[in-house]
């Protein structure tokens, strides 16, 4: 024999309050709520916030990429400036995206 307690019990049906049975099928369908996000005006372009880095961080990224480029060419002398300039372009392009 079970006794009722003052504590309310939650059943599976109570937790699924947003699910309502569909009239045409036995499968339940989810009731969609209205979106709470305000939509932007159609002519306004919203840019994503960009990550800003310090000049020292940018310089470090360029140095690391230039080192990899030099390693790819076997560290042969005479290509240091070309490696640095290529690395600079690649890093700046990556940061702009």
CA nearest neighbour of 32 among 21, 46, 18: 18
pLDDT at 3 over 60: no
Greater confidence, 13 or 62?
62
Q: What is the pTM of this model?
A: 0.49
Query: Can you give the pLDDT at residue 97?
Result: 85
Using DSSP's 3-state secondary structure scheme, residue 84 falls into helix
- What ranges do the domains of the chain cover? 55-96
Burial class (CB in 10 A: 0-12, 13-18, 19+), 84: middle
**Rounded Cα gap, residues 84 and 92, in angstroms:** 12
Looking at residues 52-65, what average pLDDT do you find?
96
Position of tokens 């969609």?
32
Q: Which two tokens stand for residue 37?
A: 């996000």
pLDDT for 8-56, tens place per residue? Answer: 555 554 444 444 444 454 555 555 555 555 555 566 556 566 678 999 9
Q: Which residue has the higher pLDDT, 79 or 6?
A: 79
């Amino acid at each position: 024999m079970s006794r009722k307690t003052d504590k309310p019990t939650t059943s599976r049906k109570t937790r699924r309050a947003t699910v309502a049975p569909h009239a045409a099928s036995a499968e339940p369908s989810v009731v969609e709520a209205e979106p709470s996000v305000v939509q932007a005006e159609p002519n306004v372009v919203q840019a994503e916030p960009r990550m800003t880095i310090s000049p020292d961080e940018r310089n470090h990224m360029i140095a690391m990429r230039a080192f990899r480029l030099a390693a790819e060419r076997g560290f042969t002398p005479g290509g240091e400036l070309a490696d640095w300039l290529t690395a600079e372009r690649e890093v700046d392009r990556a940061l702009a995206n």
